[in-house]
Structure 1
Amino acid sequence: MMSGTGENTGVRMPTVQAILSTPNFERQRAFYEGLFGAVQTMRYPEQGEVFYAGFTIGDSVLGLVNEPGKDKSPTPGFALSVEVDDVDALLATVEANGGRVLGPPNDMPWGQRVAHVNDPDGNMVNLTSGGSEGQGLAG
């Protein structure tokens, strides 16, 4: 089992972390900071052109890898789901932050309100609010 700690840095890393590669690091950074209030907590290297940056969104970590010239095609079958206070209010700001709204929000039978959007690279992002934590999951 992995410890989740950076071997040389002593920085505690999450057991599971979403990492997105992007040909336009600044555009993706601006989207996640603007829409979700992501806060950069790690950057490598510290000086010069960034290769990797870690951001906290609530109690989670999102990594962005800078790959200029890489095809920005999203990964099929992948969706990043982010719990937010108000899906409808946040949905109104998606396009101003460089994303694309894919449709109106829906109320799910398990109590969540969900809307689907694309980030600037086309990755699927689910905006969710409400519902009970862990509801509907086998335990």
Structure 2
Amino acid sequence: MNLSMRYVILYVSDGERSLHFYKDILGLTVRAQHDTYVEFDTGSAILAFNTRKNVREITPLEIPEEAGYSQTFELGFVTEDVGAVIEKLRGEGVSILSEPKVKPWGQTVAYVADPDGHYIEICSPVE
């Protein structure tokens, strides 16, 4: 079996709010948009979102109305200047969960949250 990860789809409560966050605040380029489904070009993988309401309508999956309080994954974005990105996001009112810290392996890592509370790691490349 040869699997290759191509995309991640987040389930969000408010598509317009999420579009503003990922497009206008994070600066990601919209790759495709179909009704409430939006894809962003993020390099080698696609990040997408769709509203919880629409996912319940088009799939057999049980999707709760709101996100749970327990996060079990994070999205990771790599940048050369973690501190500058965090300051820009702070200026946009983004929730900063963890300030930039240098890890024992030399990588600088910080955490923020999107409007639905999904964890986003902003980190430097691993050298």
How many residue pairs match? The answer is 117
CA distance in 2, matches of 1:38, 1:74: 26
Equivalent residue number for residue 61 of structure 2: none
Listed as ranges, the gaps of 5+ residues in structure 1 are: 4-13, 45-49, 133-139
Structure with the higher fraction of residues in helix conformation: 2
**3-state DSSP of counterpart to 2:98:** coil
The CA deviation string for residues 66-117 of structure 1, in whole angstroms up to 9 with x for no partner, is 2359313366221111111211001012244452001221101222100011
**Cα distance, 1:126 vs structure 2:** 0.4
User: Take 1:18 and 1:92, find their aligned partners in 2: how far apart are those partners?
Assistant: 26
Q: What is the aligned-residue RMSD (CA, Å)?
A: 2.4
1:112–1:106 CA distance, 2 compared to 1 (3 A): same
Does residue 56 (structure 1) correspond to residue 51 (structure 2)? The answer is no
Secondary structure of the residue aligned to 1:65 is: strand
- Aligned match for 2:26, one of 36, 40, 63: 36
Give the 3 Å change call, closer, same or farther, for CA 30–75 of structure 1 in structure 2: farther
The structure having more radius of gyration, on CA atoms, is 1
How many Å separate the matches in 1 of 2:45 and 2:69? 21
Alignment of 1:1-139 (within 5 A): 15-44=5-34, 50-68=35-53, 70-73=65-68, 76-132=71-127
TM-score when normalising by structure 1: 0.71
CA distance in 1, matches of 2:33, 2:100: 34
Structure-1 separation of matches of 2:90 and 2:100: 15
Unaligned runs of 5+ residues in structure 2 are 54-63
Distance 1:128 1:75, change over 3 A: same
1:24 shift after superposition: 0.7
Identity of aligned residues (%): 27
- The 1-side partners of 2:23 and 2:105 are apart by 29
Kindly provide the amino acid, as one letter, of the partner of residue 62 in structure 1.
Answer: L
Superposition TM-score, scaled by structure 2 size? 0.77
